[in-house]
Chain A
Amino acid sequence: MADVITYREAVAEGIAREMRRDPSVVCLGEDIGEAGGVFKTTAGLLKEFGRERVWDTPISEQAIVGAAMGAAMTGMRPVAEIMFSDFLACCWDYLANEIPKVRYMTGGQVTVPLVVRTANGGGLGFGAQHSQATENWALTVPGLKIAAPSTPADVIGMMAAAVRSDDPVVFFEHKGLLAAKGAPAPPGHVVELGRAAVAREGADVTLVALASMVPVALQAASLLAEEDIGVEVVDLRSLVPLDMATVLASLGRTSRLVTVEENPYQGGWGATLVSVVADEGFALLDAPVRRVAAECVPLPFADVLEEQVIPTVDKVVAAVRSLAAY
């Protein structure tokens, strides 16, 4: 086993492990076969598994996700790729109305064990229609599970959990993390959905982050350590199920909370998390809560403009510092 693996390689490795294990796992999506995916996150799958397991589709997001749903209802475990998460809007009916509702509205007659994978988020200068962090879209829909790993090992472990899940999972792979390197995942690695990780321990402030915001939070924590501010970084890893137990336990140690979200402040997951804290953990708090989130403008193109809009290390440091001094 290699010493390190990239996040990008981890995606393909995570899918391949499940395809080797379970013949009902099949992949479909635009350019995922010969091309190996526009982000090379499916590289090698066609070669190993052949055309009966890895299917190139037309640019037809409704057909991709709708067909994945039909296949999932009839004995397969499809892994569908929607190239950029912005394009989830093109098949939003399936994510909002069909996939998450069918089990409920049939009184439990039908299960939909599928994964919709998608490249999420900003930081690469793709402009307003290829850079959005859209996990908050999925969060508004009862019936979807939401995974958003931040490390290569988690990509593999959470992919295993997502593919094996009998419920539909939207799997957000962060574009800004694709080149990131990390420890490889041991054989049989499974990271259960709904289990947050404490990525760094600290006694003063809890910083809750997701996906690309985890390394931002960790960098901020390192800088703040030089000021003797101990920051505990919680990597949520999945939004549904949401691991409030880990968040509340961390607050029990720190009594201060900052969330770091790439999605816009309005309707972001941090708002939900903070509202639960206000409801159930108010007595744990010694300070107000702070949310560092994206501004409510479309993502601009230039780096200097994009940095204005999405959370940066500096913004996180400032938020934590203000709270530590409260």
Chain B
Amino acid sequence: MDTAELLALYEQMALIRRTEKAAHDLFLQGLVKGTTHLAAGHEAIAVGASAALRDDDYVFATYRGHHHAMARGATVEECLAELMSRATGLCKAKGGSMHLTKADANMLGSYAIVGAHLPMAVGAAWSARLRGTGQLAVAFFGDGATNIGSFHEALNLAAVWKLPVLFVCENNLYMEYTRIADVTAVPRPAADRAPAYGIPGEVVDGNDVVSVQEAVARLARRARAGDGPAVLEAETYRHFGHSRSDPATYRPAEEVERWLKHDPLDIARGRLIEAGVPEETVTAADGRAQTVVRQAIEAAKSAPPPDPREAFTDVWADGGAAWRT
């Protein structure tokens, strides 16, 4: 990867990091309702994977999906407006934090039932094969999803139908509040199970955007060549708790400290400096990200709330919601 591309990925990660920080702050100010599941710390997975995908590839994500929506083209303003229940939100304020979706970029949704979207990604890959488009489908999911039935059903079906789908696990060590190791029989909950379905299971440093990009590019080539699905387990760490109500006090201090030192932004910055990119250039990218987020916060704040009548649109394809004559 050349330094210009790496710098662009760095800037995208910086943008996501600052957006997540903004979501956190806006929640504390009472401007974001419900809950949020922040992805600060996971940026390299979304950004690295997206860099390896075609624009027309399909992406499915979880309720912790801000970074995936942004990596696939959702603007900071659209995302923050959605979180702040504004009419200009990505989903017209009908989805919220857990359902960020950018369908016109083939980012086909964030799903709040753990594991539910894995079979959908299989279906999108099946559809791509039926239509002969060469498109790939990618399902990003957490380590906790690996103990859900749909994970196993999806892997088996994708394998037996030899479909172009990648299953990318964001293993952040915790299934909500519980260590995944305490409730899971194998140490690598996704990669270790892939061989049971006759498909490759690889592990990658999920905090290194270059490693993620390379791994996804390799597995994507394989899938597009007709060699079937693969599992990529990306090791990472949440900077915040599971959700807004979780201070994450169950995590040992030394573990937190170790992982915070292994920060995706620091790793990418280190790679850039090592490749001879001036420090000021990297700092300037940070500054641009900061400006974009600051402007997005103001724009979202000044956007109107949704028209109450919007509650009764979009159930059916004709736009309406009538269930009777």
Contact A63 B119 (CB under 8 A): yes
Q: Is A104 a contact of B315 with CB atoms below 8 Å?
A: yes
Place the interface of chain A in its size category.
35 or more
Asked whether A228 is an interface residue with its Cβ less than 8 Å from the other chain, the reply is no
Known contacts A62-B153, A109-B104; is A98 also within 8 Å of B94 by CB? no
B284 to A: closest C-beta gap in Å = 35
Q: Which residues of A contact B124 (CB under 8 A)?
A: 70-71, 73-74
Within 8 A of A (CB), among B214-265: none
A312 surroundings in chain B (CB, below 8 A): none
CB-CB under 8 A for A242 and B101, given A98-B113, A105-B94, A108-B314: no
State whether the Cβ of B111 lies closer than 8 Å to any Cβ in chain A: yes
Contact status of A105 and B315, CB under 8 A, knowing A52-B130, A63-B119, A93-B116? no
Q: Which chain A residues (140-162) contact chain B, with CB distance < 8 Å?
A: 142-143
User: In the complex, are the beta carbons of A113 and B317 less than 8 A apart?
Assistant: yes
Whether A66 lies near B103 (C-beta < 8 A) is no
CB-CB under 8 A from A26, the residues of chain B are: 130
Decide if B99 touches A66 in the complex (CB within 8 Å).
no
Contact with A along B125-150 (1 / 0, CB 8 A): 11110110000010000000000011
Give the distance to chain A from B55, nearest Cβ to Cβ, in Å. 15
Q: Which residues of A contact B126 (CB under 8 A)?
A: 67, 70-71, 76
Nearest-neighbour CB distance to chain A for B20, whole angstroms, equals 21
Candidates A67, A73, A243; contact of B157 at CB < 8 Å: A67
Nearest CB in chain A: distance from B277 CB, A: 38
| Chain A nearest Cβ from B18, distance in angstroms | 25
Q: Does B40 contact A (CB under 8 A)?
A: no
Decide: B137 and A70 in contact? CB cutoff 8 A: yes
Are A70 and B123 also in contact (CB < 8 A) when A63-B154, A108-B92, A109-B104 are?
Answer: yes
Instruction: Answer yes or no: A72 CB below 8 A from chain B CBs.
Output: yes
Q: Is the pair A242, B323 in contact by a Cβ cutoff of 8 Å?
A: yes
A55 to B158, CA, bound (A): 13
| A66, B123: Cβ atoms closer than 8 Å | yes
Contact indicator A109/B101 (Cβ below 8 Å): yes
Using A60-B153, A98-B116 as known contacts, say yes or no to A104 and B325 having CB atoms under 8 A apart.
no
Instruction: List A contacts of B103 (CB < 8 A).
Output: 106, 109-110
**Given A67, A68, A106, which contacts B94 in the complex, CB threshold below 8 Å?**
A106
Contacts of B137 in A (CB 8 A): 70
Are A68 and B123 touching (Cβ within 8 A)?
Answer: yes
A98/B123 contact (C-beta < 8 A), A74-B58, A241-B324, A243-B325 known: no
The smallest C-beta distance from B292 to any residue of chain A, in angstroms, reads: 23
Question: A60-B153, A104-B314 known; A245 and B113 CB under 8 Å?
Answer: no
* B99 A94 Cβ-Cβ under 8 A: no
CA distance A111 to B103 in the complex (A): 10
Cβ contacts under 8 Å, A52 to chain B: 130
Tell whether A57 is near chain B: CB-to-CB under 8 Å: yes
Residue A244, interface by CB 8 Å: yes
Does chain A have a CB within 8 A of B300? no
Q: Which of B91, B117, B315, B323 contacts A109 (CB 8 A)?
A: B91
Residue of A nearest to B101 (CB): A106
Contact of B119 among A66, A110, A194, A243 (CB under 8 A): A66
Distance of A104 Cα from B95 Cα, bound (Å):
8
B residues 261-292 with Cβ under 8 Å of A? none
Residues of B within 8 A of A245 (CB): 325
| Contact in complex: A69, B324 (CB < 8 Å) | no
Minimum distance in angstroms from B306 CB to a CB of chain A: 9
Residues from chain A with a CB closer than 8 A to the CB of B322 are: 241
A74 to B101, CA, bound (A): 14
Q: Is A166's CB within 8 Å of the partner chain B?
A: yes
Decide yes or no whether A58 CB sits under 8 A from chain B: yes
Contact of B315 among A73, A93, A94, A143 (CB under 8 A): A143
Given contacts A71-B123, A74-B58, A244-B324, contact A102 B109 (CB under 8 A): yes
Knowing A63-B153, A109-B103, the reply to whether A103 touches B315 (Cβ < 8 A) is yes
Is A97 positioned at the interface, with any CB of B under 8 Å from its CB? Answer: yes
User: Shortest CB–CB separation between residue A67 and chain B, in angstroms?
Assistant: 3
A167 close to B (CB within 8 Å): yes
**Which residues in window 170-185 of B have CB below 8 A to A?**
none
Interchain CA distance A245-B60 in the complex, whole Å: 41
Q: Is the CB of B316 within 8 A of A107?
A: no
| Chain A residues within 8 Å of B92, by CB | 107-108
Are the C-beta atoms of A60 and B325 separated by less than 8 Å? no
- Cross-chain contact B113 with A107 (CB below 8 angstroms): no
Residues of A within 8 A of B154 (CB): 62-63, 66-67
Which chain B positions have C-beta within 8 A of A97? 113, 116
**Chain A: residues with CB nearer than 8 A to chain B?**
26, 52, 55, 57-58, 60, 62-63, 65-76, 78, 93-94, 97-98, 102-111, 113, 142-143, 165-167, 194, 240-246, 276
**14 pairs of residues in contact across A and B, judged by CB atoms under 8 Å:** A58-B153, A58-B157, A70-B108, A70-B121, A70-B122, A70-B125, A71-B127, A74-B127, A103-B316, A109-B104, A165-B317, A240-B323, A242-B323, A243-B324
Beyond A63-B122, A76-B127, 12 additional contacts (C-beta under 8 Å) are A67-B122, A70-B108, A70-B137, A71-B124, A73-B120, A103-B314, A105-B96, A107-B314, A109-B102, A167-B317, A240-B324, A243-B324
